[in-house]
Every structure is written in C-alpha cells, then in structure tokens.
Homo-oligomer: A and B are copies of this chain.
Amino acid sequence: MDSTFFTKFIMITSINTLVFIAILFGIFFGMRKFEKTKASFSKRMIISTIIGLALGLLVQLVAGFPGDTVDVKWIGEVVKWYSLVGNGFMDLLKMLVVPLVFLSILRVIINMNAKQNLGKLTTRSILVLLGTTAIASIVGIIIGNIFKLGVGVEAVEGKAEMKDVISIVDTLRGLLPANPVKAMADSNIVAVVIFAAFIGIAIKRLSAKHSEVIKPAVDLIEASYKIMTSVAKTVIRFMPYAVIPLLSNTIAGKGIGAISVVINFIIALYVSVAVMFVIHLVIVALNGLNPIKYLKNVVEPLILAFTSRSSLGTLPVTIDTLTKKVGVENGISSFVGSLGSNIGMNGCAAIYPALMSVTIANMSGTPMDFSFYAMLVVIVVISSLGIAGLPGTAIMSVSVVISGMGMGAYFPLAGAILAIDPILDMARTMLNVNDTMVTAVTVSKSLNELDKEVFVG
C-alpha cells in the first residue's frame, strides 16, 4: 500500500516519465521561438498536430508498442502529466463557456431586428441539425455495409454496459432552467440559453418604454461581453501548445493490441466521417461559400475538437471562428453553437450508432432489410434529440439506438469497440463541431446574415 500511495500522489516513478516531461518542455521552447517568426496561427496549429502525433508514437515506440498500455506504468504517468497542460487548457476554455454563452445569447436577442426572428432562428437551427443527422446516419449505414462490419466476427465476451435509461420527457425537462444558478454551475448549456432568452426577451420588450431604468443592465451586459471575449482571446492564444499533449495522449494511451482487434471498425468510422465531411462541404458550397476557403478558415476549431474530444470545450473557439473568419453574425454563432453542442451531433449521435447497429446486427445474426434501415434512421434522429445535454453522448446514443432496434441483449458484443473509444471520439467530435458550423452557415445565409466580406477576409 505504502509506495503505491505516494506514487499515485507524485506520479513520477520512472526516468521515462521525467524524460518525456522534459521533451514536452523542449518542444514548447522551440514553439515559443517559432511563434516569434510570425508564422500564421493556422500553420502553427497544423504543425502542433503533427508534433502531437509524432510524440504519441514516440511514447509507444519507447514502450515497444505494448499490446495493452495499462501494463506500462510510466505511460500512464506521462499521460497524466501531459493532461495537466492539455486538459488544463481545456479547463480554461470551459471556464469561458457559461459566461460567454449567457452573455452572447442576451446580446443577440437584445440586438435583434424583429421579434419573431428568435422563433425562426430556433426552428431552422434544429431542422438543419436534425436533417444532417439523418443524412449522417444513412452514410453510416452504407459504409457499415460496404465494410461488412461484424460479419464473421466471433462473438467476444465483453463487459459493455448500457447506460441507465433516462426518458425523453426527463431529458427535455432537464433542459429547463429550474434554477438558473444551478444550471450555470452544472454547465447545463441549453438551460443557460433558455434562461438568457427569457431575460433577453424581457429586456427587448422593456427597452421601448423603460429604457432608462434598464439601461444599467444593458450596459453591463455589453461591458461584460467585451471583457469575456477579451479573456477568450487570451486563452485561445495558447491553443497550439495544448494541442500537442492532447493528441499525443490519445495516441500514447491505447495499445496496438486493443486497436488491431477492431481496426476494421476504426477505418469504417474514419471513412464515414470523411464522406460526411464532404457532404458538409457541399452544403457550404450550396450556401455560396468556397469550400476550400471555408476549410482553411475553420481549421482551428476542427483541430481543437479532434485533439481535445470536447465539443463543449471547443465552443468558445467555434463561436470566435464563425464570427471572425466565416462571417456568421455573432449572436447566431453563439446560439447555433450552443444548440449544436447538445442537439443533432452528426458524429456521436448518428454515424457512430449507425455503424454500431450494423456491426451488432451482423454479429448477432439479426437480418437487415429496408424497413430495418428506415427505422434505424428514424430512431437515430429521435434519440439525437432525446439525449440532448446528457453526459456521455456517444455511449448514450448507442444504448438508445441499439435497444430501440431490439438488439439490446447483444450490446455486450460491442465491448472491444468501446475499449478504443478515444480513437473514434477524435473523428466524431470533429464532425460534431463541423456540423454545428455548417448549420450556422446555412441558418445565417437563410436569414441574410452571412457576411461574405469577413469570409473572404
């Protein structure tokens, strides 16, 4: 017990741990130099991604590409210390989410031209989010069948457990801000949006007759918003540094053994995400934006989402990018960004459960026909709405969809896939963030609020 206790406290028991901490510092020192060469931010982000990948592989190489990384204690320690920089940065981004969303939603409503726009904005956003979700689930079904996922796979004994069920009704009620302070403390973003919307509408209505009385509140909102965006700017500056440990941790933390078993599924998921990504770019083009230029402009939130695997943490960067580089009106960026972090996630709540359903159907010998696929799309769309805001979106979504397809009893077959979840999560999260941005572009365009001059830069 003794040494274990102190070891767990200090988290450095091997020379390898120290060496890799030193390597990270060395890289940071080099990047600091590089930063002064005035290299563009996007370029530095891409370089960080490459370094992060290389660093993760280096850890694996030094450890001799172990079958299971749990056997190599120092990898766990390196991952832990790297998380201090990587996830510590994500903590600071998350710090901004609640005040930024609250203040942005207030501002968008206060500054709205006509009152009915809020309703339009909400319905259109949800429609586009659910529409792309449906498309994404179809992509998942097709790719899953092309890859013949689960066909001929021996049913392995797994420990996968389905999440406890929460009814749609309870989920929806959980989105209501029954106590706004608690909603803020719990990072319940949809509840914060709804609370802010109520206050914003009240301010808007009062501004006609009582503008003198409420002026202090309106001015404070404006001032606070200015301050919070300035804080966001400060934090975001450090993003290229954080990307390196974030990505290398995901690469370093999973053994070759675990990956090789389900390599087929991993490839299918990455292919599905890539196909859906192309569809996203087509939608962008249909909105009159050059998709290549779009890609260049949004590379930062995409890389952060890919490496951090947190839609919510990426939110401040997503909003910032949509506003300053894509030309979406700031209020719409915040609004769609907040909704999209919770509703209609193309990656986590559509492609992933679709691929899983195909896999488990094949493993369990469940026959699949057109009605199976049609029902799958419907259930994916319903569940993507019904699990909005719950933690563990991906596993929750799979639980609901699999049981909705009547295959809940076979869920444990998916154990091997769940074991390498972080590797899948990178691609899924990136797609989630991109569908949020594509939705923002589409809704913005339909409301004539897309500023092409900003986009062209």
Which residues does A use to contact B, with CB under 8 Å? 1-3, 5-6, 8-11, 80-81, 83-84, 87-88, 91-92, 94-95, 97-99, 162, 165-169, 172-173, 176-182, 184-187, 195, 198-199, 201-203, 205-206, 210, 213-220, 222-224, 226-228, 230-231, 234-235, 382-383, 386, 399-400, 403-404, 406-409
Contact = CB atoms under 8 A, between A and B. Distances in A.
- Dominant secondary structure of chain A at its interface with chain B: helix
A409 B88 contact: no
20 contacts: A2-B406, A2-B408, A2-B409, A3-B403, A5-B403, A8-B165, A10-B167, A10-B382, A91-B178, A95-B178, A201-B234, A206-B226, A206-B227, A210-B226, A214-B223, A214-B227, A216-B219, A216-B220, A217-B227, A220-B220
A206 B230 contact: yes
Contact of A403 (B6, B84, B185, B195): B6
A11 B95 contact: no
Given A81-B169, A226-B210, A176 B9 contact: no
A95 B216 contact: no
A2 B383 CA distance: 16
Contact of A400 (B6, B162, B186): B6
A91 B9 contact: no
A9 B168 contact: yes
Centre residue among A80, A168, A178, A231 by max chain B CB count within 10 A: A178
Q: 9 closest Cβ contacts across the A-B interface?
A: A2-B408, A217-B223, A5-B403, A202-B230, A91-B178, A91-B176, A181-B184, A216-B219, A182-B185
Nearest to A165: B8
A444 B293 CA distance: 53
Contact of A3 (B9, B95, B406): B406
Contacts of A231: 198-199, 201-202
Nearest to A99: B180
Contacts of A6: 400, 403-404, 408
Contacts of A185: 179, 181-182, 185
Contact of A181 (B98, B167, B404): B98
Contacts of A166: 9
A66 B415 CA distance: 44
Nearest to A382: B10
B176 A92 contact: yes
Contact of A169 (B11, B198, B205, B404): B11
A184 B81 CA distance: 26
Contact of A187 (B9, B162, B169, B179): B179
Contacts of A184: 179, 181
B95 A169 contact: no
Nearest to A406: B2
Nearest to A5: B403
A177 B231 CA distance: 13
Contact of A83 (B84, B169, B198, B210): B169
Nearest to A79: B169
Contacts of A162: 5
Contacts of A215: 223
